[in-house]
Structure 1
Amino acid sequence: MAEILKRRIGLGLLTAYGVGVMVGAGIYVLVGAVAAEAGIWAPLAFVLAGVIAAPTALSYAEFSTRFPEAAGEAAFVAKGVQAPWLGTLVGLAIVMAGAVSAAAVLRGGVGYLGAVTGWPAGPSMVVIGALLAAVAVVGVLESLALAAIFTVVEVLGLGLVVYAGFSAVPVADFQMPQEIVWSGVTAGAVLAFFAFIGFEDIVNMAEEVREPERVLPRAILLSLIITSLLYALVTWAAVRSVPLERLGASEQPLALVWQMGQGGSAAFLSLIAVVAALNGVLAQMVMASRVLFGLGRRSAWLSVFHHAHPRFGTPVRATVLISVAVIGGALALPVAELAGVTSTLLLTVFVLVNGALILMKRRVPEAAFRVPMAVPVFGVVVALAALGASLGGLG
């Protein structure tokens, strides 16, 4: 019985994986919502959200060099707080968040696909979910290579939106901007923060990464920087080319940007949103199965999942279970509150990870990659604030 995953991933693929998870399908609808809060200063709200996410990303980066293993958050919390049961609970929360998120994204992506092709939703979810599961089983290199292709398509699509926005005639809102209202920018930043969730998935690939102590921190930070710049550019193009009233009310804000700049149909953006959704589903399937694999090492009652296929070098049992849960969830669950549940689970984990790093740094200061103590302290404060906002939104 194989219990070792194959180390086949380098910095480029891992960074593309991180960018793909973060960009996902959310940016295609979130721009309008953030603009409704922050107005013409929406790009600043996205930059601020990246700054808010940075401390937790840096905490993950340090922890990833201390304990480069699958089920990263579970290991971080278990060893930082010295409570194995809490680590297992955190790991299961990550598995649940990954499966729920993938189910919601699969359902949303199939909705976009149906609008373009007319294909029925139920069979499409089953077929697409099964095909993505097959890719995830065959190999991590194949999975991340496909995810990288998806990411390139997403980024190219967003690049076209930026081009359209900057080629349009600037709207009056942009030419005569109102004074900055920090309460609106802050509210927009809290909303935009959820667009940066995904960097934490990188640490769960640790056992399939070459030189993880060197590669993991770089991939986390690079993916966060690239995504922050991309979001700021897309949002800038949007507020430049579309009146704020229309932008804030739209469920397809990037289609508006294209039409204002280039005219004609923006149906291709629906297809790119499908690609973004496929990327998100595949990435979450891969991540959640690795967490379950890692939990199998740490917990006797989950040990059946600590098994890698001798040929493929992937956690097949864990991948099959996660895939069934994702397809079943997509078929059976309403999407409306799934994103909120996912965010709440992950923000709770962020609080625990930052807190665990504070305790770990006090006991064992040395690490291959170290951040100042102020970083996890600020990370706890920010994650608690965002968690409060998230719970308020759910309420």
Structure 2
Amino acid sequence: MAKDSEGSLGFNAAWSMAVGGMIGGGIFATLGVVIQAAGEWAWASFLIGGLIALATGHSYAALTVESGKPGGIYRFLRELDHGYAARIAAWVLILGYTLTVSVYAFTFGAYLANALGGPAWLPQAMAAVSIIALAGVNLMGVGEASTLEIVAVWGKLVILAGLAAFGLAQWNAGELVIDQPPGIVGALIGAGTVFMAYEGFQLLAYDYDEMKDRETLMPRVMPAAILTALAVYIAVALGTPMLIGADAVIEQREVALATAGRAALGTTGFVAVTIAAAFSTASAINATLFATARLARSVAEEGELPGIFGKTDREGVPYAGIMLISAVALALALVGGLGDLVKGASVIFLIVFGLVNAIAIRRKVGRAWIAWAGCSGAALAAAILLLHQLGFI
């Protein structure tokens, strides 16, 4: 397998991969779901989720640098001689990432179909096209994938920042209130729901071998990417309801930001936000496929996944893993509902976040108090989300 020992991802490309993995699902796919759960406290849900993600990012970076190898929680468990748990974690993560790819594709299809009009099957068709096209980009290799990521991320950040600023300039706190206010408990439920929106930063743990000056880069790029996503989420969660009202965001959850863009700048705003949504979800599909296929390759090379995941071309691209993950994600995007996909993925990543922080505590890497905060926060959020899903709160 060919691999550049110096890596090919610098700060901008690695940051773009992480931000693309987060924001693609984080705001276009989850805003309406979170506002329905938290109402006027949706901004607090994104803040709580971001703080837990920051703590977990600290643990991820410290553990990855100590290990010196890609693999994330799979690698960390292997190094603790928990081989069976590591194998289960690898399968769970691949499922979680496949779910997130399906969410991004679902959202991509919804926004494009909303803009184009047409028959009822068009959103599903657009979702399928997005997965197939981005799988093709990944099959071309890291250079093409990372270049696309940089362009897509900067484009969507400019548009999202403009939309948020336009809404915040028309501040009216009453627009944040929904018909059935959930209260402060809603913020905690929303914080549990939102975790799929923050999972993208951990993709860097699987891209570790692709980075330049990786031991220095990893501890810098993870918090930078998480803070970027956190700031964008809070700004958009506060600004969008100023334009169309929180209840409209819930009603039109699949395309709420495009509706807000129309309210802000008419057709120009609608088109701009639709383009941002397409770029955002496409970059998220790209980043997630890129890293998940490399995770599967690493695990397969150690005999813990079927050998097909380890098949690569002459350039070291794990083509078989990319195609398998893409095929399953495509099927889920065609049959799944947005809310269920988001919440299912969030539960998976909350469990992973909590375990990573617990491993950092056990191995005594990084700052212990940060790992304890991340572990406690993830466990609490997971418990609240599960209790909510079971109807107890």
Q: Shorter chain as normaliser: what TM range? A: 0.7 to 0.9
Distance 1:41 1:106, change over 3 A: closer
Is the contact made by 1:350 and 1:383 (CA closer than 8 Å) also made in structure 2?
yes
- Letter of the 2:368 counterpart: M
**1:76 positional shift:** 1.1
- Residue 382 (str. 1) matches residue 377 (str. 2): yes
**Residue equivalent to 2:328:** 325
- Residue 392 (str. 1) matches residue 392 (str. 2): no
- Letter of the 1:94 counterpart: L
Task: Return the alpha-carbon distance in structure 1 between the equivalents of residues 130 and 186 of structure 2.
Answer: 40
**1:286 positional shift:** 1.0
Is the contact made by 1:34 and 1:42 (CA closer than 8 Å) also made in structure 2?
yes
- Residue 208 (str. 1) matches residue 174 (str. 2): no
Same amino acid, percent of matched pairs: 21
Q: Which segments of 5 or more consecutive residues in structure 2 lack a partner in the other structure?
A: 177-182
Task: Return the alpha-carbon distance in structure 2 between the equivalents of residues 99 and 192 of structure 1.
Answer: 17
Distance 1:241 1:292, change over 3 A: same
Greater mean alpha carbon deviation, residues 334-343 or residues 223-232? 334-343
Which residues of 2 match residues 182-193 of structure 1 at below 5 A?
A: 182-193=184-195
Task: Return the alpha-carbon distance in structure 2 between the equivalents of residues 325 and 70 of structure 1.
Answer: 24
TM-score normalised per structure 2: 0.85
**1:333 positional shift:** 4.5
Corresponding residue to 2:342 among 333, 339, 354 = 339
Q: Deviations over 1:322-376 (max 9, x none)?
A: 2222233334545552222222222222222222222222xxxxxxxx5221222
Q: Deviations over 1:220-252 (max 9, x none)?
A: 111011111222222332355554555555524
Distance 1:292 1:41, change over 3 A: closer
**Residue equivalent to 1:372:** 367
- Letter of the 1:237 counterpart: G
Q: Deviations over 1:63-85 (max 9, x none)?
A: 121124332220012224x2112
Task: Return the alpha-carbon distance in structure 2 between the equivalents of residues 242 and 317 of structure 1.
Answer: 44
- Letter of the 1:173 counterpart: G
Q: Deviations over 1:129-161 (max 9, x none)?
A: 222112101111211211222212221220221
Distance 1:340 1:192, change over 3 A: closer
**Residue equivalent to 1:105:** 104
**1:382 positional shift:** 1.2
Corresponding residue to 1:297 among 296, 301, 309 = 301
Task: Return the alpha-carbon distance in structure 1 between the equivalents of residues 159 and 257 of structure 2.
Answer: 10
Which residues of 2 match residues 127-206 of structure 1 at below 5 A?
A: 127-168=129-170, 170-171=171-172, 173=174, 182-206=184-208
Is the contact made by 1:172 and 1:243 (CA closer than 8 Å) also made in structure 2?
no
The 3-state SS of whatever aligns with 1:337 is: helix
- Letter of the 1:390 counterpart: L
Task: Return the alpha-carbon distance in structure 2 between the equivalents of residues 63 and 338 of structure 1.
Answer: 29
**1:93 positional shift:** 1.1
TM-score normalised per structure 1: 0.85
Greater mean alpha carbon deviation, residues 206-215 or residues 43-52? 43-52
For the aligned residue pairs, the C-alpha RMSD in angstroms reads 2.9
Is the contact made by 2:106 and 2:124 (CA closer than 8 Å) also made in structure 1?
no
Q: Which segments of 5 or more consecutive residues in structure 1 lack a partner in the other structure?
A: 176-180, 362-369
The 3-state SS of whatever aligns with 2:69 is: coil
Distance 1:47 1:330, change over 3 A: closer
Distance 1:115 1:38, change over 3 A: closer
Structure number with larger C-alpha Rg: 1
**1:314 positional shift:** 1.6
- Letter of the 2:108 counterpart: G
